[in-house]
Amino acid sequence: MQIFKVKRSEPMQVEITVPGDKSVSHRAVMLASIADGDTVIQNFLPGEDCISTINAMRDMGVSIEGPFENNDVIVHGAGKYGLKDPQSVLNLGNSGTSMRLLAGLLAGHGVNVILEGDASLMSRPMRRVVEPLTHMGAQIACAETGCAPIIIQRTKQQLTGMHFNSSVASAQVKSAILLAGLYAEGDTSVTEPVLTRDHTERMLEAFGYPIIRDGKCVTLTGGGRLTGTTIQVPADISSAAFFLVAAAMTPDAEMIIKDVGINPARIGVINILWEMGAQITIENTRDVGNEPVADLHVIGRNLRGIQIPLQHIPLAIDEFPAIFIAAACATGTTVLRGAHELRLKESDRIQAMAKGLAELGVVVEPQDDGIIIHGGDLHGGTVDSHGDHRIAMAFAIAGWAARGTITILNCENVATSFPNFVEIAKFCKLDISVE
């Protein structure tokens, strides 16, 4: 077991850069693997989740060099139908993105494959991607529980395009169906209840594949091919969120986070912090690798509790553990409703955060689809991250506010998304040790 210990820390005045975006890194490797020609991926995230995607593509015959010391990766594309049957089960570790997106990518490719992962991944819902893929003609199944393993068998006939009205706001579901649509006859379209991150659509366009967008609906036509290119991965806003929150809630702190991806469907954490009174400015906005990028300039101040607007929830679904820490330190009460999806992540993030905050002296009221947090002082204590990387990092940044030592258990999975988190935290003057 890896344990973090954090103590009350001084306000930071720093400029930092966080690692490459995990969502973009996954998609870049997958699409580069089925492209014609070579692709150079710059600033790839060398976290365990993204390495799981690289290893899966290698197991299906793709030649991939790196990640090198500069985090570049070179993918020698196998072509649209160039993947081969792996010699064994594809173990995707803790990566839900790898499993759900590969289910779509492989559904019509013509390979036989079994997708599995660690205990956490094997407990997450997969029927939400398996069922629509089945309607497209894929020979695909999951366990009776609706979870992994996912078993994909070679189809004798081409998939059929479909229009799918998604009942859940999930970019992974949308992406799985669109990736299957690459191999389908006719048009494949997905309509979402609310717009989610569009990294797959942007990445397909970067590889030369046309996409049609119409409000909440996105459509592609099967039969085209992808062309190798150069992809520059922006810094991950989900990783930046921990330090964004830490600086925003710490009076007298000042921080600039460089080159952060600000995809419109990913900036919920900024919107919520603004609602709480945070002083954050977005500077030097530009496009990098078909994604919007900017520098985030934060000046710390006292925050206030809010009713979190429903429209911000899908735009911040991965950042709520950090946001809960901001709420715990704010003046007043923060209320979150309409976020049941948080119970279906690497852990039940509502329950895990509620229990941990209570251990630190915060008054919390967990709800089925959210939480009520009464802001106040945090004291020391021992909390369990339940092997969830975002829970571990969220409680680590509480060290800027807590009045005693916080001990955080089961932190080893931080390496899945943010392998140098501790080093950057120390650079930002967080008093953190690892045991």
Active site residue 318: yes
Element (H, E) at 150: strand 150-153
Q: Is 360 exposed, middle or buried (0-12, 13-18, 19+ CB in 10 A)?
A: buried
- Give me the amino acid identity at 26: H
Task: Check if the beta carbon of residue 434 is closer than 8 Å to that of residue 408.
Answer: no
Residue 82 to residue 62: CA distance in whole angstroms: 8
Residue 75 to residue 286: CA distance in whole angstroms: 26
Instruction: Identify the CA nearest to 198 among candidates 178, 184, 223.
Output: 178
Instruction: Identify the CA nearest to 203 among candidates 404, 429, 420, 27.
Output: 27
Structure letter (DSSP) for residue 8:
-
Residue 210 to residue 223: CA distance in whole angstroms: 11
Check 49, 295, 318, 384 and give the catalytic one: 318
Place of tokens 């900024």: 270
Q: For residue 280, give Cα distances in angstroms to 97, 185, 245, 330.
A: 30, 47, 10, 16
Residue 55 to residue 49: CA distance in whole angstroms: 10
H-state helical runs in 45-184: 48-59, 96-107, 127-135, 171-181
Task: Give the β-pairing of 159-160 and 38-42.
Answer: unpaired
Strands of the sheet containing 431-434, edge to edge, are: 381-384, 406-409, 4-7, 431-434
What is the dihedral angle through the alpha carbons of 12, 16, 21, 22, rounded to the nearest 10 degrees?
A: -60
Residues with catalytic roles: 318
